[in-house]
Amino acid sequence: MTSNNRTVTVIGAGLAGLAAAYDLHRAGWNVTVLEARERVGGRVYSVRSFSNGLVAEGGGEFIEDRHVRMLAFAKQFNLQLGRVGSWQKQDGDWGAFEGKSGRLADEKIWGTNLHEEIERVWDAVSGLGKYVPDSKQPQTSREAERLDAQSALDWINAQDVHPLARNYFIQHIRAEYTTEPECFSLLDLARNSSMYYSTAEHQPNWRVVGGNDLIPRALANALPDIRMNAVVTSIRILPDEVAVTYKQADSHLTVSSAFAILAIPLTTARLIDFNSSLPYAHQRMVNEISYGAVTKVMIQYRKRFWDKTGWNGRLTTDSPIVITWLATSHVESEDGIITAYTGGSPGAKLAALSDEARVQLAVAEIEKFFPGSSDLIEHTATAAWPNEPFTRGSYMALAPGEVTAHWQTLFEPAGRLFFAGEHATAIQGYMEGAVESGQRAAASIISS
């Protein structure tokens, strides 16, 4: 597929699209980036409306030590990183179940050492990885069909642990994968286990001081042709080019290029007319792949009341807010921001509320566990990703049957159209994965 026409249209100015465009531009290709929003970054969205210069992440939040691409960008653009503990679990985590709340290890509260019971589940999760020896090719695993036919809930219910430990892990699935455990493929849980949970240790994370979206902003500043408010309505894949039509203000414009990269969520790609030019497997993939739902409510408190209670800001709960963490744990300040991160069915229910009602619910739930905390509120903000018109969900959450049906297609170009995004990578759901997918698509085009 050689061509002297070194032009590429990138659809989407999230991390995947920007990373691809950046590499292509540096390699001498003429790149046009089309972005439907008024801002770059996609699901990387830093909220700066808080007092005292504090920032919270409305979207992608955590950068791991192994996320070498994100760390390299931070270094390249002279951005400071702040250390954060592991988002999956930390010593001193709290739980709130069946009307009780407190440290997971407090036997007086739970009647058992709930922390140890939960660790037994994590140990079992680490054992799932043996079923997927190659996390980049889970569909080739010996028991792929059997595992893909089951859900994460099937597996959770089979664990011989305290019922509250099973309840905890249901909430964890809602938080990490933003879907209900019965809607999440056991094969994909095993794939994630092989990548992240082979040991019971969980590594600390990083955030960019000043906001994670400083990385996509820096990438965008290095690109000469980004067209904002450009909503793609049609893509036609031809033998020698890709024609992309987009609406900008009252105009419909078409740009043709040798290649194109579709770097938007598949939930949004479903709104595009591909003019019957997508291969059957790719069109089916676009139509069928499942996404989760997630909302965030960010609450700024004038005083860090959690310090006096011995709480680290992390709470896993069967209440409507699912999980919380300290959004400003990477910076020093007298005040601080708690994020309520609500995925799965509870996240969808919160998204259906008005912004005001959603915030009020989160504030009221935290007030139940920490009376008087609501008197300390300085500012609030919220992001409901199912309502965001160019996201329409959280991130890919493969349902039973979908790994074996679609995994291989996610990584294959459709003629001259390449796919990129957190869905088109083994590092799924992470900012690092979005970057990896974009760089991989760019490298394929450059070498074509």
Q: What is the CATH number of the domain that holds 419?
A: 3.50.50.60
Domain limits for position 330: 46-88+204-212+292-387
Cα–Cα distance measured from residue 335 to residue 51, given in angstroms and rounded to the nearest whole number: 9
- What is the identity of the amino acid at 290? S
| Residue 178 backbone class (left: φ over 0; alpha: ψ -120 to 50; beta: rest) | left
Cα–Cα distance measured from residue 370 to residue 96, given in angstroms and rounded to the nearest whole number: 11
Q: Which two tokens stand for residue 150?
A: 């089951």
Considering the domain architecture, whether residues 316 and 208 belong to the same structural domain is answered as: yes
Average the pLDDT over 115-132 and give the result: 95
Considering the domain architecture, whether residues 255 and 189 belong to the same structural domain is answered as: no
3-state secondary structure of 90: coil
Of 166, 196, 226, which residue is a domain's last? 196
Burial class for 75, CB neighbours closer than 10 Å (0-12, 13-18, 19+)? exposed
Cα–Cα distance measured from residue 265 to residue 291, given in angstroms and rounded to the nearest whole number: 9
Q: Residue 74: which residues within 8 A CB-CB, separation 6 or more?
A: 63, 80, 81, 206, 208, 215
pLDDT of residue 81: 97
pLDDT of residue 204: 81
pLDDT of residue 397: 98
Give 199's pLDDT tier (boundaries 50, 70, 90).
low
CB-side neighbour CA atoms (13 Å) of 117? 22
Would you say residue 322 lies in a domain?
yes
pLDDT of residue 90: 81
Considering the domain architecture, whether residues 417 and 429 belong to the same structural domain is answered as: yes
Burial class for 3, CB neighbours closer than 10 Å (0-12, 13-18, 19+)? middle
pLDDT in tens, 369-414: 999 999 999 999 999 999 999 999 999 999 999 999 999 999 999 9
Considering the domain architecture, whether residues 285 and 344 belong to the same structural domain is answered as: no
Considering the domain architecture, whether residues 105 and 71 belong to the same structural domain is answered as: no
3-state secondary structure of 327: coil
Considering the domain architecture, whether residues 325 and 208 belong to the same structural domain is answered as: yes
- What is the identity of the amino acid at 378? E
Considering the domain architecture, whether residues 208 and 233 belong to the same structural domain is answered as: no
Would you say residue 405 lies in a domain?
yes
User: Model's pTM, two decimal places?
Assistant: 0.97
- What is the identity of the amino acid at 324? T
Instruction: Decide if 172 contacts 44 (C-beta within 8 A).
Output: no
Cα–Cα distance measured from residue 161 to residue 74, given in angstroms and rounded to the nearest whole number: 42
Total number of domains in the chain:
3
Considering the domain architecture, whether residues 208 and 340 belong to the same structural domain is answered as: yes
Considering the domain architecture, whether residues 57 and 151 belong to the same structural domain is answered as: no
* Portion of the chain with pLDDT greater than 70, in percent: 98
Q: What is the CATH number of the domain that holds 314?
A: 3.90.660.10
Q: What is the CATH number of the domain that holds 162?
A: 1.10.405.10
pLDDT in tens, 18-70: 999 999 999 999 999 999 999 999 999 999 999 999 999 999 999 999 999 99
| Residue 241 backbone class (left: φ over 0; alpha: ψ -120 to 50; beta: rest) | beta
Considering the domain architecture, whether residues 226 and 272 belong to the same structural domain is answered as: yes
